[in-house]
Amino acid sequence: MRIRGDLPDPATDRAERAEIERAEIERVRDERVDVTRIAVACRVLGKLDLTREPAGHVSMRVGPDRVLIKSRGADESGLRFAGDADVVAVDLAGRRLDGGGSAGVPKEVFLHLAVYRANPGVRGVAHVHPVTPVLLTICAVPLLPLIGAYDPLALRLLNRGIPVYPRSVLIATPELGAQVAEVLGDSAACLLRGHGVTTTGDSPEEAALNAIKVNEMAELSYRAHLLGTPQPTDPADIAAIGEVGAEVRRGHVESAWRYYCRLVGETPVGPAAPR
């Protein structure tokens, strides 16, 4: 540490500069991987038909004032064909920083940013337009925990509650984004009436996986209503399945994500990469 009045030490200055350069090289390298993670998550959701092209986006918070998000514009590729060049960096005010090629910042960036502001622990957000969840919102059919050991990941997601944002507009202003974030609360998923689904997670992969699970549970609920009156799972059975620790949950998420990637011919990167 340099004390006021001391003469500069050239060796110390060189070491400090070298450390700063190493840190920046690491940050850039890690962010390149994060950009690819977002592109892969987009392609998985697109290939699973969870959105009407080219609608939808996945984002990741990578710094206090830096978010990576799938871009939108005339030159974009759409979710199914998203690549690294389709990812743009923005600050928490929605201003473009870099990346994204000739495409721009999506109008609904404010949905993502509001969720990050309201939930500092969230690192990934996905927003897609799957048909069956949208149908349920149109008919005011709630997504309830109807299953148990059939899919514990989905059960835990449902048991946290999946609220519905009542408006059907583009979330294109900070005020509308704040409204959605308030409805979402501590849940990891929110339905937007006549619009789509917004999900969160500790990573873009978990956010995308939660969107997949919401869609699967909506499909199950839809079929159950065709057969009769669905009965929610007994609370005692939900309690018996219970929650799991963060490390166990992370393992479940990574395993499930690898499955869906391989199902659609994608290779996961980042924490869920094959070992």
Token pair belonging to 137: 């919102």
Q: Is the C-alpha dihedral spanning 124, 192, 80, 273 positive or negative?
A: positive
**How far is 230 from 158, CA to CA, in rounded Å?**
15
Beta strands in 155-269 (DSSP E): 164-165, 189-192, 196-201
Nearest residue to 71 (alpha-carbon basis) of 101, 31, 112: 101
Burial string for 80-109 (b: 16+ CB within 10 Å, else e) reads bebeebbbbbbebebeeeebbbebbbbebb
**How far is 19 from 184, CA to CA, in rounded Å?**
41
Selected catalytic residue, list 108, 205, 206, 254: 108
Residue 76 annotated to the active site: no
Instruction: Supply the DSSP symbol for 30.
Output: H
Token pair belonging to 245: 């620790």
**Coil, helix or strand for 121?**
coil
CA terminus-to-terminus distance, the chain: 42
Q: Report the catalytic residues.
A: 108
